[in-house]
Structure 1
Amino acid sequence: MNDYLCMRHLEAVEQESEEIEHIIQYEKRPGLERPHPRETRVTTMAISSQPPPDSSQASIGRARMNRNVQPFPASMLDHCTVCLEEQLFSQAIALLSSGLTSGTCTSRPSQVPPIPHLALLATVAVHPSLTTRTADPTKPQAADDALRYLRHVSRLLSPRAAGLDKAFHFTAGSDRNDRSKRAKDRKSETAEVLPIDDANTIRSRYVDQESIWSNADDFWSVVGWAFNCSVKYKHRWQRWRAWLECMLEVLEADLHERTVDGTVTDSLLAQYLLPIGQGRNSKRRLMRAILANGSTKSLAEFNEIWRNETRLAKTTTQTANKKRKLDLDNDEFGDYFDESDEDSPATTARRSRSATAFSSRKASRQPSGDEDEGSEDESTVFDNSGMLGVEAFSGIDSIALRQRIVALLVRFCSTAPQLLLDVEDLFDLYTEFIRPLRLAAFEQFVVPMRAYLSIDSQCSLIQMLLRPLLTSSAPTYDANALTQADFECCYAPFTASTTSAVDNAKVSLLIEGLMRLLWRTGNLQITPRLRKLMGAGIEDRQARVEFDGRRKTGLKAMEDEEAVLAMQASGERLRSVLDLCAT
């Protein structure tokens, strides 16, 4: 029996590794949407008569071993640390992985490295000099290995026991440009909160001045910049998307564990929400980060994490033709210490434990440490000003990640509203941002193909969106639980308060969403009254749409045409649901 269980577990771990590798391979192929693991993507809205699984448990419902944890053996840790300092990341990760998975089918604890090692790997997984700004094929592979290891840690162990809640700690800072000061502050804060002996330290620029934890102001700065990249810088989004997915797995698992233990105030998400102020305007920053769309305003608020992050790798021709002068008086060293040699063995040695005083002075003059001079590839930069629908938010995958963050905030607020907002206020803030969205994007945010919110939360969100859109003749509905009688009385037969095609299409989509929720919970009964009211509502919304005599062109004309088609399609789906449920 033990051999059988061992074999089953190894098969599960191998399958998980294949899924992550599958994700990474898709991320390396531009222009392709990554299918969700173990899920077949459909192009139309799926109708299910069964209630969906509780989305609050969707991500943490994976097989989690929650094994006991013990420190990494000193001798192996020292060897691993040397590899990390010499930037032999894949070799170090191979050692760490062996300690994580060895003895899986026994009572032997998993071996995890100290906090600085985990923090460094999170930087390695996404740093531009190791991913999109290097021509060395071994560096992106090391970044993939780092991401894979962190995901295995988060799925096999409790984030708290593994130390991920302490390793993934941002240093809040108000001055984005003073990076060296923040790095120094982070080191002193870490020393105060998490005492670490010298044996566990790593002398690497990816631990201090180049660390994501000291370069980003907070988690929401990263979220905003990552979603800006999803629209404006596709090559960077490929890396940020995988990093965000890993972070969300950790946040979800940690919040679940803290909720069970009654220690939500100590959760990693609670730490990330600390820099958010108390006022409503301060909390709007959360939604601006989640809905960042690459606009000029959004880029001004959520800018790059590392200097010149979006630059691509220099070509061989650029490097060969580049000439730099030698001017020692002005600290211009020509080709000496050139960035093309930044990761050479000699340069790496200078940054290791035997670093010289001169290399330290050089590092202090160039805190960013790896700024390439390659030009930005214009083909990877887009203007979203004319984009319609989901492409304004970089497509379905990007929107799904945004919804996942909102669902995480909903679970947090339902458990500890005093730490941020109650759920109703959170939805009020959320709807303020998504109500004005163009129709196709609006549809994906409020009635998505895969919902991350629970049925009750989804119902509350839809009703909150409907209230200001519905005509004044519709009765006000403020109850928490929606019944079919309430649906018939307050929603089904009504139009929007305006003659706008967009507003009436949104009302139709929201009413369709409520009807589907009633069906999924088994509370929808097809009666002659329901058919009559639904038919009247569909016809009245289409008849309500009026166009003035002026001929519309450009974006406005496209929006109106899109709205009319969407409203007609929604009406047909509503009738189809009635016919299907009646059989």
Structure 2
Amino acid sequence: MPRPSENRLVLPVSFALLENIKIYFEENLPNDALDLLQHLVISGKRTTAPPGSRANSVLPPPSYLDLISTLAVHPRHTTYAKSRDDHQAAINALGYLQLLPALVSVKDSGMAQAFRFEEGRSTGTQHWERGTKRKAMVALGGSEAAAFDDDVINHPIARDSVWTQAKDFWHIVGWAINCAVWHRRRWECWQLWLEFMVFVMERDLEERIALRDAGEEGEGERLEESILGRFLLLNEHGEGRQVWKRAAKAIFADGEQRAMNEFPPVWREETKVPKEDDMEFYKAPSIYRDVEDPSKDWLSRTGPGVRDLRIRLITLLLHITHCTPSTSLSPSSLSDLLASHITHLPYPIYTSLLRASPLSPLPPSSLSTLTQTIASWLIDHAAPANPEPDEVPTQDTLVTCFLPFAANTSSLEDNARLSWAVEILQRMYFDAHRDVGPTRAFVKAVEAGIAARARHVRDAKVRGGVRGEEDEGFKQQILESSWRMRVLIEAVQGGVARRAKRG
């Protein structure tokens, strides 16, 4: 679990020192600039404050954070770096960004002002200057605020910022996951960048909810003005469900042509790879050194790290809909939207997302709702509807609405997916009720469902070729799921019996 922020007092960089940092950047010495900034954020400024006072960190204005966040992921400093020093700038930039939420609050850091997308794309300098000047004007408070009015950093990367090149945050998410399928080295860069961004959004929501619960008023506690809220346009009146649909499409991007068209590269020629014998470029070591030939894993499971990213983003979306009444989408409607994508994912990805784990950030209640929704779409039409779909199902609900049924088609795939969903609901129930054993009706319903699914697919046609191999795999998945459900019941019954003997 991440450590809480030290919540230091934030002080602005003095005008003279900021001019030196600006010169470092403009003279293409980013590592020198970042070393100085890192010293300022860690050591802070010596003051005459009495002992026991809050420590402080010295931070630049938001326009500098805009540049630093771009350095961390720009091709020129990552996959297309010309030297070790060029690549080191990306490493140092990401390291500096990761220090910010650890030392100061998101609200005070200036990240909320820096991490904003410009309205539409522009190739002209005038539009870029308007954007960076607007960010530079949002200083960190104090008498020096006016000093940053015209603080535009004359650096090629600043003119090629991720915040001006990407259409919105969901463009980046969708493109990054597309990279996980087709462009492994770009995915490595985007993965680290997105992990930082997601952490900042999580911390931002936590801080705002804490302020709201403490009764403070103002924009600081409004979730609509959070970084995630602005990415979802919650602060824009009249915006409907389209942004939510775009977010869901981005989270479940799969590298297919449709996803590639909707979420294209952020930068032109971003995926260009230097030739092996090109001595002008520096090839950074991969963060996946233990994967010798990842291509098969990449194409079948959409790359390592994607599952965790998807789960964290799903959790954030569900969290903000529960906590913000003004969203254009209710929690139940969002669950339906997410479930509609999960249902059609390739089976290995489907099972990896619908998986109960104590380490998962997705709350059990949310996982239960998603799983119930998917099961209700797959299950036999004779199954009665769950009267309380937003609640974690009881044994009686499982017995009545889920356990004894096959899928509503004879498809091997549909029955395998349903069996997995029902198995997850069963497992989640006993994880939450460790002192409760299954009733006779529960055991009978489990056996009835296993028999119904086996009977339903007995005459299912197995396709030829590669599809036939998939069908044989679905047959095996149904058998293994049935075995696990029986073993779980035996384990729970044995545990209850042992506790009864001891007690």
TM-score by length of 1: 0.73
1:307 corresponds to which residue?
Answer: 268
Mapped pair 1:82 → 2:23: yes
Aligned residue number for residue 195 of structure 2: 245
Which residue pairs with 2:411 in the alignment? 500
CA contact under 8 A between 2:114 and 2:135: conserved in structure 1?
no
Q: Kindly tell me: are residues 406 and 150 of structure 1, through their superposed partners in 2, closer, same or farther at Cα, counting changes over 3 Å?
A: same
Residue equivalent to 1:291 = 252
Aligned letter for 1:94? D
Query: Percent identity between the aligned chains?
Result: 31
Displacement of 1:259: 2.0
Confirm whether residue 91 of structure 1 aligns to residue 3 of structure 2.
no
After TM superposition, the structure 1 stretch with the greater mean CA deviation from structure 2, 436-445 or 120-129, is 436-445
Q: Offset at 1:554?
A: 2.6
Change (3 A) 1:466 1:317: closer
Report 1:381-460 matches (<5 A). Answer: 391-447=299-355, 449=357, 450-460=359-369
Distance 1:258 1:401 in 2: 22
More moved, 256-265 vs 121-130: 256-265
State the secondary structure of the residue aligned to 1:133.
coil
1:417 CA displacement? 4.0
| Equivalent-residue separation in structure 2 for 1:566 and 1:196 (angstroms) | 65
Q: Could you say what secondary structure the match of 2:83 adopts?
A: coil
* Gaps in structure 1 of 5+ consecutive residues: 1-57, 320-339, 341-381
What is residue 233 of structure 2 aligned with on the other side? 274
Of the three residues 139, 153, 156, the one matched with 1:205 is: 156
SS in 2 for 1:206: helix
Structure 2 counterpart of 1:220, from 166, 170, 183 = 170
Select the residue among 205, 208, 220 that pairs with 1:255: 205
Q: How far off is 1:527 after superposition?
A: 2.7
> Which residue number corresponds to residue 284 of structure 2?
none
Q: Is the 8 A contact 1:90 1:142 kept in 2?
A: yes
- Which residue of the partner structure matches residue 153 of structure 1? 100
Structure 1 residue 281, shift from structure 2 partner:
4.8
Specify which of 468, 471, 479 is matched with residue 377 of structure 2: 468
2-side partners of 1:200 and 1:227: how far apart? Answer: 35
What is the CA-CA distance between 1:171 and the residue it aligns to?
A: 0.9
Which residue is equivalent to 1:70? 11
Stretch of structure 1 that moved more, 117-126 or 103-112? 103-112
**How far apart are the structure 1 equivalents of 2:176 and 2:442?**
45
- Give the superposition deviation at 1:182: 5.0
Q: Give the letter aligned to residue 395 of structure 1.
A: G
Matched AA of 2:365:
D
- Structural RMSD (CA): 2.8
Cα deviation for residue 396 of structure 1 reads 4.5
Q: How many residues align?
A: 456
The one-character-per-residue Cα deviations of 1:13-37 (angstroms, maximum 9, x if unpaired) are xxxxxxxxxxxxxxxxxxxxxxxxx
Tell me the distance in 2 between the aligned counterparts of 1:169 and 1:488.
49
- 1:547 Cα deviation from its structure 2 partner: 4.0
Alignment-derived partner of residue 344 in structure 1? none
Q: CA deviation at 1:516?
A: 1.8
Distance 1:181 1:80, change over 3 A: closer
CA distance 1:62–1:516, shift in 2 (3 Å): farther
Q: Partners in 2 of 1:298 and 1:392 — Cα distance?
A: 16
2:61 maps to which residue? Answer: 114
How far 1:280 moved relative to its partner? 4.2
| Aligned equivalent of 1:143, options 90, 106, 116 | 90
| Displacement after TM superposition at 1:106 (Å) | 6.6
Report if aligned partners of 1:417, 1:423 keep a CA contact under 8 Å in 2.
no
**279 and 468 in structure 1: CA distance in 2 versus 1, 3 angstrom threshold:** same
Q: Does 1:561 align with 2:469?
A: no
Q: What amino acid is the match of 1:140?
A: H
In structure 2, do the counterparts of structure 1 residues 74 and 228 end up closer, same or farther at CA, with 3 Å as the change threshold? same
Question: For the Cα contact (< 8 Å) 1:474–1:490, is it kept in 2?
Answer: yes
Q: Deviations over 1:138-195 (max 9, x none)?
A: 111110111011011122221111111111111131xx57465753552465477777
Q: Is 1:264 aligned to residue 223 of structure 2?
A: yes
Letter of the 2:22 counterpart: T
1:517 aligned partner, one-letter code = M
- How far the C-alpha of 1:63 sits from its partner, in A, is 3.0
Which string of whole-angstrom CA distances, capped at 9 and with x for unpartnered residues, describes residues 497-527 of structure 1?
A: 1111111111111111111221222275223
Q: Indicate conservation of the 8 Å contact 2:136/2:150, yes or no.
A: no
Q: Distance in 2 between matches of 1:287 and 1:113?
A: 34
Match of 2:181 among 231, 237, 252: 231
1:483-522 equivalent positions in 2, closer than 5 A: 483-522=394-433
For residue 472 of structure 1, give the secondary structure of its aligned residue in structure 2. coil
What one-letter code is carried by the residue in structure 1 that aligns with 2:200? V
Partners in 1 of 2:444 and 2:460 — Cα distance?
30
Alpha-carbon distance between aligned partners in 2 of 1:317 and 1:151, rounded to the nearest angstrom? 33
Higher relative CO (CA 8 A, sep ≥ 6), structure 1 or 2? Answer: 1
Please name the residue that 2:128 is paired with: 183
Q: TM-score, normalised by structure 2?
A: 0.83
Pairing partner for 1:536 from 444, 448, 451: 448
**Within 2, Cα distance between the matches of 1:228 and 1:575?**
39
| Distance of 1:232 and 1:408 partners within structure 2 | 26
